[in-house]
Amino acid sequence: MNGKVKRVAMAGFVFGLGVISELCAQGADPTTAAEGVQSAYGMTFREAWQHGGWVMWVLAGMSVFAVALVFYFMTALRNGAIVPRELVSDILAKVRSNDLSEARRLSDRHPCPFSAIVLATLDCLRNVPQCDVNLLRGAAEAEGARQAESIQGQTQLLLDVATIAPLLGLLGTVLGMLRAFSSVAHDVASAKPVVLASGVSQAIVTTIFGLIVAIPCMAFYAWFRRRAGRQISNLEAATSEVVTSIIGMGTQMDISEKE
């Protein structure tokens, strides 16, 4: 599952860069649809974007990346992707009928966190001549812990975006204030109000947009974290049921592959 996250993350990042590059190449403004829309603070969205500078483009890329992650997690953290109920029923039926070879084939044909734990358990039973109950449970728990970390850990990407976005906004704030007061530092007489206003606007705008990106990411992270926790609980319950069934059938069973 980590490999899938990496592919989606890279695809979202490349897509964001492609959109930004295309807009830059065509000289297009990403806020064209918002032209002429005056905000309650006397600044259009287009003006805010222009005041924000290059930091706005980085935040835009991060927002595209975050949207790609949200759509991926909606698919990856659904019930059928972590613990397919039909697969659980089929594997339990094969185990209870003492057909562990077929149970292993079912796990091979349906890759998912649940099947990975079943495979680890059956491999331990096959490869260890005197496999006892503690060793069998230990193999299942070790693979279960790895799968749980994979499920829970991938949601941290949204938390990373939610952490970095305000810092980028803060960077824009510092750059804006530096721009605003650098003219005053060099020559008070030559300092123009328009330059001061532009720098202060950059400072405020980047902070606002950094929070606009970070707050939804944090909210989605909290939602997906709870969702991942529920899926891990379901995974533990299904795994425990399978391991208990295997132990109940006896640990000295032949699960060699049938031709």
Averages of pLDDT over runs of 10 residues in the chain (259 residues) are 51 49 46 41 63 81 92 87 88 86 88 90 81 83 90 89 90 76 59 58 80 92 92 90 80 42
Q: What is the pLDDT of residue 220?
A: 94
User: Per-residue pLDDT tens for 135-154?
Assistant: 888 888 899 999 999 888 88
Task: Give the number of domains in the chain.
Answer: 1
Residue 259 lies in a domain: no
Residue 164 lies in a domain: yes
Q: What is the pLDDT of residue 34?
A: 40
Q: Which domain holds residue 30?
A: 1-254
User: Per-residue pLDDT tens for 239-255?
Assistant: 888 888 888 776 444 44
Q: What is the pLDDT of residue 194?
A: 53
C-alpha pair distances (Å), 231 with each of 80, 157, 228:
10, 18, 5
Q: Are the CB atoms for 148 and 243 separated by under 8 Å?
A: no
Sequence-ordered strand ranges (E) for the chain:
none
Output phi, psi for 129, to 5 deg. -60, -45
Residue 174 lies in a domain: yes
- Tokens 């299942």 belong to 140
Q: What is the pLDDT of residue 202?
A: 66
